[in-house]
Amino acid sequence: MSGITYKVRVFKTEVRKTAAGKVTSYRVQWQTEGRKIWKKSFPLAAQAETYRSSLITAARSGEAFSLVTGEPVSWSRTQTPEMTWYAFLCKYVDMKWKGASANYRQVIARALTAATPAMFTTRRGKPDDKALRSALHRYAFNMQQRETATDEVADTLKWLADHSKPISALTDPGLIRDVLDKATSTVAGTRAAPNTARKHRLIVSNALDYAVELKLLESNPLKTLN
């Protein structure tokens, strides 16, 4: 069977902190085939340790790991992935980062920042809109800057992580249309320039193709819209 490996190494959990020393997350890292490094962050240490222990147990019991998701193959057969929109977009940005020019990285960040408000689970306790956009564009969707956030920005990113709908929610036609509308609109709510709207739609569609690749969605819901 192709696309799998039995060569897995799980590393010690990494505690992520701001420059001021405030803990922002706990990151589990593991390696497949002696090459690919996978990373998954959690807000609580106990959550990270539970996930890490599950990886170790699977590796020690000789389970096959997927080279697409990095996780044990059996997990995709028994669990419904519930990765949030925010976590998924960070993963997508990281995947695109190396091969993208500096200018295109900015376009990606702008498109995803514009689309994200459609995926909030609530408005309660929501930080200022300007602060949210800045945190998304400058930190969340910037692989090099994400872990350098100030305490204030880290709090904003935590709100985003805690109040983001699961990617699976995009099977709702009304929600995916709202995502597209937000992605192709200006901050003021008016229609973006045609060239900008086209670029943003392509980027969101490409991100959703990646979600299909990761088996988070069965198909790209954006392609069903006119």
H or E, element range at 206: helix 194-213
Maximum distance among all alpha carbons in the chain?
55
Is 0.85 surpassed by the pTM of this model?
A: no
| Residue-by-residue pLDDT tens, the chain, 226 positions | 457 899 999 999 999 888 888 888 889 999 998 778 998 888 888 888 989 999 999 999 888 998 888 889 888 765 544 789 999 999 999 999 999 999 999 999 999 999 999 999 988 899 999 999 999 999 999 998 888 888 889 899 989 988 899 888 898 888 999 999 999 999 998 999 999 999 999 999 999 999 999 888 889 999 888 6
* 9 vs 29: CA distance, rounded Å: 9
Question: In the chain, where are the structural domains located?
Answer: 4-78, 85-224
* 201 vs 90: CA distance, rounded Å: 18
* 210 vs 74: CA distance, rounded Å: 21
Which residue type is seen at 165? K
